[in-house]
Amino acid sequence: MLASDNPKKGQLGLANLGNTCYLNSALQCLRHVPDLTVFFHKHSDSWIHEKPSKEATLCKAYKELVTGLWSQVGPAAMKPAGFIHYFRESLKDCPTYEHMITPQPHDSGEALTFLLDQLHEGMKKPLNINVVAEKTSVTYGALMAWKEQVAPNYSPIVDYFFGLMEVSITCKGCSKVRCKYEPFNMLKIGFEDQKKSSLEQCMDYEFSAEELDEYQCDDCSPDMPKDSPNPKNKRPSASIQRRIWRLPQNLIVILKRFNPNGTKCHSDFEASSVQRFSKWFAEKSPECSKIAEYNLQSVVDHHGSANGGHYVAQVKSPITGKWNVYDDENVSTMKDGNQAYLGRPSYILFYRKV
């Protein structure tokens, strides 16, 4: 489906149906994830739930949209009216995201998060996972956490986008370390420098240790009350350290551009087109993704302020290897088609493991 002698195959824009650039840009990046597109084209029918549901209907609408986009030759544009209808129908049962029902500008990162979740929900089913590791090993704990949290609700979305995070808490009273493992499908990283930052600086900032005051340690302070006026009964402090245990085949990185106070971080940004993430991995992780290289495949840009603006997508063509700009219904090749432009507008990065 993604191979062709015609360099214009699949180079179709998406019509803006009333402030839908936030969704169009996310869709253009997502449909250029090879694993996901091939899966929906060839194998999704056996996974999408037969029992009617809004999630299953959205899965079918996504398949129809992506198949249509890749079966035509540009320059042209499609009207994603059907998909947007079912997208908004799915929002009605989700209080966290239902504000996106209105035909107003919305957050592309939120739309992407919701869409991936719905695709997962529309196909999930129990999976039998056998854990083979020494029970006393750190690896066993990570594998068991993966099994307990993933196996009951597995879908191919897990294979394509889910990683595992190690969260360790070190008590400063007794030095006891406790670890837990949490699945994730996106890395959200913030800016320490509001003027200019690199991907590495943002990752360093996001993965730096955090301090906890009055930590209730099960070993040295299990019964100590919080905010005790007696220094002898005061709970010890602790530090929290997040480290990557496993990365997925396709890594989505969201830059924390939009602040809770309603402002936007306009920091300049740079990143390599080829990236390794081993620096931020847990030391004991044996996962092969620890040393893998990841290629930048697409970028969602946001031009404007927190109160309004416009989204576009930069995408590397799987057919020509050149970078194209998808600005709603308009598609054009970048001036330097050999690389993406990264800077102040950069918001969401899609990486793919080599």
Digitized pLDDT (tens) for each residue of the chain, 354 residues in all: 677 778 899 999 999 999 999 999 999 999 999 999 999 999 999 999 999 999 999 999 999 999 999 999 988 999 999 999 999 999 998 999 999 999 999 999 999 999 999 999 999 999 999 888 888 888 999 999 999 999 999 999 999 999 999 999 999 999 999 999 999 999 999 999 889 999 999 999 999 999 999 888 888 876 766 666 555 668 899 999 999 999 999 999 999 999 999 999 999 999 999 999 999 999 999 999 999 999 999 999 999 999 889 999 999 999 999 999 999 999 999 988 899 999 999 999 999 999
The answer to whether residue 1 sits within a structural domain is no
> Could you tell me if residue 6 is inside a domain?
no
pLDDT of residue 326: 98
Sequence-separated (6 or more) residues with CB below 8 Å from residue 319: 2, 3, 4, 6, 7, 9, 10
Beta bridge partners of 326: 313, 331
**Contact (Cβ atoms closer than 8 angstroms) between residue 282 and residue 241:** no
Strand partners, 121: none
Question: Could you tell me if residue 343 is inside a domain?
Answer: yes
pLDDT of residue 235: 86
Residue ranges making up the domain that contains 117: 12-353
C-alpha–C-alpha distance, residues 345 and 179, integer Å: 36
Residue 241's pLDDT is 97
| Chain centroid offset of residue 123 CA | 18
Q: Tell whether the torsion through CA atoms of 158, 120, 353 and 292 is positive or negative.
A: negative
Domain-located, residue 5: no
Domain assignment present for 257:
yes
For residue 33, the domain's CATH number is 3.90.70.10
- Number of independent structural domains in the chain: 1
The reply to whether 59 falls in a domain is yes
Is 3 among the domain residues? Answer: no
pLDDT at 216: 87
Report if residue 283 sits inside a domain: yes
